[in-house]
C-alpha cells in the first residue's frame, strides 16, 4: 500500500511540475541534469503556487491539511505560494450515517435512542477529520455531536511516513534545505494531526477556554459551548449547540443592527486577553469557527467553535511579546532590537543599530493608517525577510500566534475596515504591563508564591547548613577563603541570606494578614 501511495505522489508531483519546482532550488550538478530531462515535453501556464495547491488537493485530505499548516509558515514559504495555500479548503463528502451512529454507540456504550431524544443522521458539517450532527438530549438541551472519521489513524500514519521521507530528501537536496527545516515542519504537523485525532483533547481545550471567559470581568465578550462530558470520548465530542452568523456575513449583521465597530474592537480585546492574560488561545479564528449571536439574550456576542487547534505561551513568552508590542506601538525600534538580542533570537554579535534600522524600515510606513490600508501579512512578510538577513531564530510556539493574528486582522477588516488596530490594542497592553510589573502585580506575585515560601522558609537554615557542610564543602571553602584573606565575605554572605529569609517571612506575614 505504501509503495503504491508513493507512486501516486510521484505521479501527481510530475503532473503539476512539483519535481521541477523543488529541483530548481538545488545547485547539485547531477540534479540539474536530471531536471533538464524531466522538463522535456512539459509546459505549465499556471503559477507555481497554484500548481502546488492543485497537487495537494489531488493527493487528498491529509495533504490539504499539510498545505494549510504550510500557509501559516511565512517565515519559510514564499509569498506567492502562501496566497495559493491559503485558498485550501478541507470540505469533503460526509461518511455514511450508519457508520457515524455505530461509532457513537460503540464509544458511549449505549444505543443511540438511549443517548439522545433526537439525533439527526444527516451531518450539518463535514471535514477531513470529522463530521458534526445535530442532536437533542432528554432534558431538551440542543447539542452538536462531532464524530471522528473511521480509519483516520491508519491513513494518517502512512501519509506522515511518506511526508517524513520526502522532507529528509528536501533537506538534503535543496540549497536552503537546512534553513527551511522541512523535517521539523513535518514533525510539528504530526503532533498537530494526532492531537486532532483525540477529541478528548479538543473537548478539554474547549472546557479550558470556557472557564477562562466565565468571569464577571469578561462577561459578554465571547460564548464558549459547554462540553457534555457524559457524551464525549476520544472519537465523539458532544457540546452545547450554538446558533450564530459567521463574521464574514457582514450584510446580515448590519441588517440585524449589530454594532460592527464595537464587535471589531472586542475581537482585538479577546485575542490579546487570551494571549497575554491566559497564555492559552484559540488558534483557528477564521469566520467558519467564529460566529456572532443574534439571540436577544446574547445579541452581538462572539461565539467560538472548533477547538482542535489551540496555542499556549509561557510567562517568559508573554512578557517578552508584550514588551515587543509596546515597543512597536511606541516606535521604540532600538528597544525591539535590544529585546531580540537579549533573548538570543539573533546572534549575540548582531549590531543593535543595524537591526533597529531594519525594523524601522519595515514598520514605520504603516503607522497612523486604518486597518483597511494595513496588511499585517505584508508587515510580517517583510519582517520575516529581515529576520532571514539577521539569522533570526523563529520560535515554534509563536507560529500559531502569527496565524491567529492574521485571522484577527481578516475578521477586523471584514467587520470594520477603519478599525485602528494599534489604538485598540495599545491601552490593553499598557494596562496589562502595569498590572504585571506595577505594585499590584508585585503583591499578586507574592500571594502566588506565599504557599511555597511557607514550607521553604522554616527549613532554609538547615538546608543552607547541609549544603555548606556536605562533603566538607564548608571546610574547603573556609580554607580557600583563608588563603585569600576574605573570610569576612562568608559572614557577609550568611548575613545576607538571613536578611533575605527575614524579609521573605515579613512579606509572607504581610500578605497573609492583608
Annotated catalytic sites, by residue? 284
C-alpha cell at 385: 525577510
DSSP secondary structure, 349-399, as one string = T--HHHHHHHHHHHHGGGTT--GGG--HHHHHHHHHHHHHHTT----GGGH
Q: For every residue of 82-126, which 3-state class applies, written as one string?
A: HHHHCCCCCECCCCCHHHHHHHHHHHHCCCHHHHCCEECCCCCEE
**Beta strand 222-223 with 302-304: parallel, antiparallel or unpaired?**
parallel
Name the CA radius of gyration of the chain, rounded.
Answer: 28
| Side-chain half-sphere exposure of 318, counting CA atoms within 13 A | 21
**Whether 121 contacts 97, CB under 8 Å:** yes
Q: What is the DSSP letter of 263?
A: H
* Alpha helices (H) along 259-375: 260-272, 315-329, 333-343, 352-363
- How far apart (Å, rounded) are the C-alpha atoms in residues 237 and 349? 51
- How far apart (Å, rounded) are the C-alpha atoms in residues 263 and 419? 10
Helix H or strand E segment including 146: strand 142-148
Which one, of 129, 122, 58, lies nearest residue 91 by Cα? Answer: 129
**Whether 109 contacts 232, CB under 8 Å:** no
Length of the chain: 514
C-alpha distances (whole Å) from 373 to each of 82, 403, 432 are 20, 19, 28
**Beta strand 118-119 with 130-136: parallel, antiparallel or unpaired?**
antiparallel
**Whether 23 contacts 173, CB under 8 Å:** yes
Amino acid at each position: 500500500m505504501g509503495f503504491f501511495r508513493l507512486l501516486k505522489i510521484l505521479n501527481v508531483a510530475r503532473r503539476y511540475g512539483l519535481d521541477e519546482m523543488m529541483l530548481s532550488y538545488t545547485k547539485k550538478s547531477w540534479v540539474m541534469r536530471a531536471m533538464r530531462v524531466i522538463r522535456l515535453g512539459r509546459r505549465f501556464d499556471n503559477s507555481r503556487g497554484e500548481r502546488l495547491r492543485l497537487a495537494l488537493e489531488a493527493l487528498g485530505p491529509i495533504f490539504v491539511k499539510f498545505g494549510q499548516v504550510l500557509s501559516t509558515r511565512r517565515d519559510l514559504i514564499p509569498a506567492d505560494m502562501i496566497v495559493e495555500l491559503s485558498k485550501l479548503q478541507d470540505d469533503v463528502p460526509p461518511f455514511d450515517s450508519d457508520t457515524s451512529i455505530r461509532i457513537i454507540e460503540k464509544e458511549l456504550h449505549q444505543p443511540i435512542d438511549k443517548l439522545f431524544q433526537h439525533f439527526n443522521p444527516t451531518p450539518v458539517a463535514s471535514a477531513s477529520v470529522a463530521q458534526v450532527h445535530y442532536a437533542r438530549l432528554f432534558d431538551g438541551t440542543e447539542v452538536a455531536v462531532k464524530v471522528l472519521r473511521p480509519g483516520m489513524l491508519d491513513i494518517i500514519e502512512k501519509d506522515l511516513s511518506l511526508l517524513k521521507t520526502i522532507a529528509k530528501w528536501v533537506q538534503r537536496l535543496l540549497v536552503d534545505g537546512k534553513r527551511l527545516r522541512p523535517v521539523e515542519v513535518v514533525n510539528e504537523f504530526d503532533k498537530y494531526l494526532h492531537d486532532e485525532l483525540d477529541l478528548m483533547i479538543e473537548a478539554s481545550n474547549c472546557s479550558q477556554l470556557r472557564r477562562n471567559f466565565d468571569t464577571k470581568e469578561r462577561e459578554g465578550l465571547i460564548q464558549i459551548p459547554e462540553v457534555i462530558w457524559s457524551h464525549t470520548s476520544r472519537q465523539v465530542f458532544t457540546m452545547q449547540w450554538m446558533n450564530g452568523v459567521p463574521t464574514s456575513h457582514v450584510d446580515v449583521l448590519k441588517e440585524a443592527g449589530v454594532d460592527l465597530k464595537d464587535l471589531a474592537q472586542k475581537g482585538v480585546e479577546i485575542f490579546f486577553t487570551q494571549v497575554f492574560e491566559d497564555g492559552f488561545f484559540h488558534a483557528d479564528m477564521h469566520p467558519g469557527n467564529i460566529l456572532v449571536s443574534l439571540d436577544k439574550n446574547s445579541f452581538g456576542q462572539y461565539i467560538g467553535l472548533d477547538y482542535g487547534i489551540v496555542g499556549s505561551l509561557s510567562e517568559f513568552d508573554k512578557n517578552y511579546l508584550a514588551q515587543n508590542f509596546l515597543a512597536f506601538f511606541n516606535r521604540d525600534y532600538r528597544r525591539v532590537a535590544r529585546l531580540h538580542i537579549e533573548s538570543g533570537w539573533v546572534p549575540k554579535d548582531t549590531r543593535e543599530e543595524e537591526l533597529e534600522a531594519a525594523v524601522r524600515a519595515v514598520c514605520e510606513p504603516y503607522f497612523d493608517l486604518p486597518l483597511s490600508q494595513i496588511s499585517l501579512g505584508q508587515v510580517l512578510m517583510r519582517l520575516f525577510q529581515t529576520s532571514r538577513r539577521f539569522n533570526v531564530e523563529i520560535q515554534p510556539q509563536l507560529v500559531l500566534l502569527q496565524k491567529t493574528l492574521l485571522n484577527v486582522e481578516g475578521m477586523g477588516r471584514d467587520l470594520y475596515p477603519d478599525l485602528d488596530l494599534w489604538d485598540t490594542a495599545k491601552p490593553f497592553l499598557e494596562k496589562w504591563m502595569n498590572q504585571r510589573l506595577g505594585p499590584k502585580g508585585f503583591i499578586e506575585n507574592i500571594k502566588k508564591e506565599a504557599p511555597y515560601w511557607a514550607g521553604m522558609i522554616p527549613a532554609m537554615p538547615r538546608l543552607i547548613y547541609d549544603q555548606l557542610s556536605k562533603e566538607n564543602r564548608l571546610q574547603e571553602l573556609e580554607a580557600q577563603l583563608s588563603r585569600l584573606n576574605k573570610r569576612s565575605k562568608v559572614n557577609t554572605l550568611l548575613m545576607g541570606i538571613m536578611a533575605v529569609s527575614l524579609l521573605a517571612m515579613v512579606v509572607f506575614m504581610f500578605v497573609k494578614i492583608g
